[in-house]
Chains A and B, each alone.
Chain A
């Protein structure tokens, strides 16, 4: 555990010491704010809960994109710069390395996500929404962040360059996003499988509306676990061969 936290602390420091971390965070918050102002608030009178739902809808998109951009460097950059030797020649287990890197990106992404809290707070002060609705939405965002960060960690473990890592992670995320479309054009049991795999359509909308389903929580945690497990397998295969 201490090895995992050691790696996580170092990686978090890398985000906080680099322009990249701040740039990605700033772009995410600006886009989130602009979308909130232009579309969620709108120009006509709306129910506060509808505005909040739209806020979480847009935040879902920015969270997913930010996760891909933040994670692409995790292992691919180490491979590019040669610092992977430090990790490979250390006595840390693959789980400690992958877990530490995943945790750093998740904590950074979580921090940036929570900075956007001022927008729901504005709705809360000027409208009528429940704290539980806001909490539910943020729990959903964090679970999405966890799943997409794990996918990004896997992409970075597979790729030799950061660009390729971003492309691999992006393709996996897009496939998971559009799987509900595949569900519409396929027959059972494939349709049910594709429907279940949908990252947004089936599993995020309940959070967006203020509902927490165990099934959705399990889904996002399962995605996280599976992609972290695959990352450790890739690292293990490349680490000592």
Chain B
């Protein structure tokens, strides 16, 4: 569906995106994860046909963006971080207008309109003027304008920024629902959203692609230190006594004791989780939980971006 090769974009001397290469399959939801200034918005704007790349190629549906930009634009729906809305228009009129602007015949737009309003959960405000809507509704109207023309690719730049928890949940469901008809690219620096809505994650730092894969793949990538988090029934002293004699346990950090359950992180010399479990049980400590400590997406993200910056 999308094939990006060596994509580079400079603003003056500053590289915003450097030698990005990735492919995205049809009906996949892919998240662009990165800190502010990582190059997410620049990359998305290039894919949306709004910015010219300084170097590299982008093919969408087999068509080169530079060779047929208008044809590509008609197949893309784009929602920037700040929804581009004509605030003097009514919601349904606005969505209809954008559909036609994207080249869809009026009759087809009108036929699709009720479904899109329902899908985006804005049917109840269809006749209201956009300036009267809350941010949550405006974001959803922004998504409606991005999908009204049935695009093959939907690009959403920070779609959940500024939303409250209830609106975030609704937006998450909406984004996941979009993959039925389209490939979806979502950028965010809010990590749980990327993890919960995307099939795959591309991590950007300093304009470079530093990692890509599913959450699990990224987690496994980062577990080379073999840090594990463990909860056992027993005391902190008993844990230290049991593990202190093991040469392959290089570090133990007890961080919580709730009743008779103690939680700690341990650093192992290799992936020796089975041996650790056996040692704890042998020491008479009731094993409650043993997990990879670096499995948290936030930690993966920070480690990856730290590596890239270093």
A residues sitting closer than 8 Å to B (CB atoms) are 3, 6-7, 10, 13-14, 17-18, 81-93, 240-241
Contacts and interface: CB of A to CB of B under 8 A. Distances in A.
Contact of A82 (B48, B84, B89, B97): B84
Interface in B229-284: none
A91 B151 CA distance: 13
**5 tightest CB-CB pairs across the interface, nearest first?**
A91-B70, A91-B74, A85-B84, A83-B84, A17-B88
Given A13-B89, A18-B88, A240-B51, A89 B73 contact: yes
A165 B271 CA distance: 66
Interface stretch (B32-40, B99-107, B213-221, B301-309): B99-107
A14 B94 CA distance: 12
A14 B102 CA distance: 19
Interface in B88-132: 88-89, 97-98, 100-103
Contacts of B88: 13-14, 17-18
5 contacts: A10-B86, A10-B89, A91-B73, A93-B70, A240-B49
B89 A90 contact: no
A89 B102 CA distance: 8
Contact of B145 (A17, A86, A93, A240): A86
Given A13-B89, A90-B101, A240-B52, A85 B69 contact: no
Interface of B: 48-52, 69-71, 73-74, 76, 78, 80, 82, 84-89, 97-98, 100-103, 145
Chain B contact residues: helix, strand, loop or mixed: loop
A89 B89 contact: no
Contact of B82 (A3, A82, A90, A93): A82
A129 to B, nearest CB: 41
Nearest to B93: A13
B84 A241 contact: no
A198 B178 CA distance: 58
Contacts of B89: 10, 13, 17
A87 B102 CA distance: 9
A81 B85 CA distance: 8
B128 to A, nearest CB: 14
Nearest to B69: A240
A89 B145 contact: no
Given A18-B88, A81-B87, A91-B73, 9 more contacts: A6-B100, A10-B89, A10-B97, A17-B89, A82-B80, A82-B82, A85-B50, A240-B50, A241-B52
